[in-house]
Amino acid sequence: MNNPAEQIMAANKANMEAFEAAFKKAFTGAEKLVELNMAASKAAVSESFTHAKAALSAKTPQEFMTLQTGFFQPMAEKSTAYFQHVQSIAAEGSADITKQIEANMADAQKAFGASVDQLVKSAPTGSETAVVAFQSALSNSQKAIESAQASIKKATEVAQANFAVATKQTTDMVKKAAKAV
């Protein structure tokens, strides 16, 4: 496969397959989140009805307050577990997709570089200036891609860190609210 056009087509095909795999992983993560939310919703509804029945049967205000406290205190732990599970699903999916895309981009860049080298070798005499300009533009575009990848990776890390902080703050607020009841 020394034909540069064939090499570029093969690289494009590999990239398309990589994007398809990345989308499948994203959908797997979304499915996990839907399953988690369904399970959490089902449990919350069940617990709410059980609590409502118990609260309706309370005979004294003290018994009612004890029921309320008993209902809200475990919510902090459940909320913490829920948010940690969401974060782990998001982090897992993001890491898998990022690794796959980075590996495929590196392969594509190598294939494209090989194609360009082949084109340079077969360039007609007298086109050296155009070839140098083309190689410079190619080098600059690869540097821009690498910079964009680094920025995306950094933004993902920052987003995950912010999500972890938000989860902790939410959990702390729920725990404080449960203690106040």
Question: What mean pLDDT comes out for the span 45-74?
Answer: 87
97-118 as b/e: b if 16+ CB within 10 A: bbeebeebeeebeebbbbbbee
- At residue 56, does pLDDT exceed 80? yes
Query: Taking a C-beta distance cutoff of 8 angstroms, is the pair 78, 170 a contact?
Result: no
Helical H runs in 57-125?
61-121
Tell me, what's the pLDDT at 46? 92
User: Tokens for 34?
Assistant: 């839907």
Tell me, what's the pLDDT at 42? 94
Query: Taking a C-beta distance cutoff of 8 angstroms, is the pair 94, 160 a contact?
Result: yes
Express each pLDDT in 41-50 by its tens digit.
999 899 989 9
Provide the mean pLDDT of the chain. 79
Task: Give residue 39's pLDDT band: very low, low, confident or very high (50, 70, 90).
Answer: very high
Neighbours of 165 (CB within 10 A): 10
Task: Give residue 177's pLDDT band: very low, low, confident or very high (50, 70, 90).
Answer: low
Express each pLDDT in 146-168 by its tens digit.
787 788 778 777 877 777 787 77
Give the pTM: 0.56
Tell me, what's the pLDDT at 174? 67
Question: What mean pLDDT comes out for the span 9-21?
Answer: 80
